[in-house]
Amino acid sequence: MVLPVVAIVGRPNVGKSTLFNRIAGECIAIVEDKPGITRDRIYAQGEWTGKRFHLIDTGGLEFGGEDVFIDHVRHQVELAVDEADVIIFVVDGREGLMPSDEEVATWLHRADKPVVLAVNKADNRRLREDMYEFYSLGFDEVIPISALHGTGTGDLLDAVVSRFPDREEEVFDEDTIRVSVIGRPNAGKSSLINAILGQERVIVSPIPGTTRDAVDTPLHRDGQDFVLVDTAGIRKRGKVYESTEKYSVLRALRAIERSDVALIVLDGERGVAEQDKRIAGYAHEAGCASIFVVNKWDAVEKDDKTMDRFRREIMKAFSFMDYAPILFVSAKTGQRVHKILPAVQEVAEQHAMRVSTSVLNQVLTDAMLTTPPPSERGKRLKIRYGTQVSVKPPTIVLFCNDPELAHFSYLRYLENRFREAFGFRGTPLRIRLRKGDE
């Protein structure tokens, strides 16, 4: 399911980051009583009345002055608004209506997106009564809140979720494998899709961020139906900022949410970067099956040990995803591209694999006999039995005497034993603990 996106915008120092932290439920954004602290968008996930959504924090919008960051921040906010389904426009109820609020409002009207106006810092009755001047900004929904204390945020979120779009889920045959192609800008994602398809169906350019939107491409190969999703970044007005990569992360995340398998494309020439780790981490956390595809391998100067060195670098950087296979390809020359779809099909099957309870418990018993569960504060973890409760990703529930006695290292040991016995290649494996016979 693709989650809606909510962007929080407004002029500097009106409390956007405080509201972001309040909705996200944790202190993520930097908060300081000084304009301009938030320079780039920050992402989190929120939930209200059972509806989950992506949340974007943005820097303060300004339309004048000599600050070198003003144009950069405005570009970032523009990207966030372009991606958003609903916008929360935050103003300062203590300061009252300011000319800069009117400038932001005019800009948002041109964006033609649903907007909910949040009058922040309305901490008392007088301030809440004074909020009516903000109706002159031309928005239907004006809600007084205190982001710091949480007052009114429930009403605000009610208004936000009521404006979420009704998206019809794509209807594919249940055997169709959805594959998202994700990675940093200019890693060769579009070229890779074209190489897999054998034709130029996706625009290719050496300029990072050429692909504006995700493009779904159906494919039938060797009796199997696939849908390939290109999730390249964004390019606006001929300017590509380094921070544009943050924007591509959200696009990748939204594609992952509706995929079975993620092809994590790495640039063989540039090596592994922090952005690669962040994007791969989203695939892992979302429970998506994954394959690392090292592209541009033809352009890498190499000897007989180069591939092993790069493989070790990947395994070190992505130690939390040691289950994912690694392919070295060249979209330009077609080298090993033919191996991608068979690998996709294999990990998709592993992603959807179900193990019988009796066989699972036999492996579990053998594992505990070989290495008994550890003791904690004089109490020993006792695992009574386990069962697989779901697939995509495979999820195993272990019933025990006290889940708090389970150390991470022992769960990792059990995961390794399950993988040795059943495979689960290319897919995350979730292990959950429950007390007693719940």
Residue 311 to residue 303: CA distance in whole angstroms: 14
Alpha-carbon span 384 to 261, nearest angstrom: 33
Query: Tell me, what DSSP letter sits at residue 344?
Result: H
Angle formed by the axes of helices 357-370 and 408-422, to 10°? 130
Residue in 12, 28, 22, 115 with CA at minimum distance from that of residue 73? 12
> Known binding site: residues?
10-17, 57-61, 120-123, 183-190, 230-234, 295-298
- Give the SS3 label for residue 273: coil
For tokens 């004006």, name the residue.
142
Spatial CA neighbour of 434 closest among 400, 410, 394: 400
Q: State the Cα–Cα distance between residues 418 and 364, nearest whole angstrom.
A: 8
Q: Strand, helix or coil at 28?
A: coil
Closest CA to 147 of 91, 84, 97: 91
List, as residue ranges, the binding site for GTP.
10-17, 57-61, 120-123, 183-190, 230-234, 295-298
Cα separation, 180 vs 425, whole angstroms: 18
Instruction: Concatenate the DSSP letters of all residues of 101-114 into one string.
Output: HHHHHHHHHHHT--
Distances (CA, A) of 378 to 15, 127, 381, 405: 49, 57, 10, 10
Residues near 80 by beta carbon (within 8 Å), at least 6 away in sequence? 7, 9, 41, 56, 58
198, containing H or E segment: none
Region of 334 (left: φ > 0; alpha: ψ -120 to 50; beta: rest) is left
How far is Cα 19 from Cα 419, in angstroms, rounded to an integer?
Answer: 43
Tokens (6 digits) for 227: 């849908």
**Residue 396, SS3?**
strand
